[in-house]
Amino acid sequence: VDAWRLIHPGQRQYTSMNGRGSRVDLVLCSRDLATSILGAEIEEAVVGDHCPISTNISSRIQKYHRTRPFVDARLMEYPAVHSEISRRIREWRINSTHDWDNLMTSLGGWINKEKEKWNIETG
């Protein structure tokens, strides 16, 4: 992802003053890091014919970590529970943004609701 273009979509500004004006200097980042870009500016050229690009990045970059919901093993004895968890994981693999923590939160909420519905005691 081009950090400057992310902040300034559709704008025209140049980093090389070679007579034609072009933007050959870039700050490239991953899509994950792009969510932490706060700003990007093309600065005035001080030395040479290229303009530096400054980029501000949030220091609160979320670290990717996998969480696991607590699932009482007795719940997995219910075919409907096992089937639904499997279905949700398959659907997540195919259709989602692959946000593992979001999947775990969703599954945890569904499991708690099912325990109440079926009056399953766990713990």
Q: What is the pLDDT of residue 84?
A: 83
75 secondary structure, DSSP code? G
- What lies within 8 Å, CB to CB, of 89 at 6+ separation is 103
Q: What is the pLDDT along the chain (123 residues), one digit of tens a residue?
A: 888 888 888 888 888 876 566 777 788 888 878 888 889 998 888 877 788 889 988 876 455 555 555 566 677 777 887 788 888 878 877 776 667 777 778 888 887 777 777 666 554
Q: What is the pLDDT of residue 48?
A: 78
Q: What is the pLDDT of residue 67?
A: 55
- DSSP lists the bridge partners of residue 54 as 41
pLDDT 10s digits, 79-112: 887 788 888 878 877 776 667 777 778 888 887 7
Q: What is the pLDDT of residue 101?
A: 74
Neighbours of 84 (CB within 10 A): 15
Handedness of CA 23, 25, 27, 28 (dihedral sign): positive
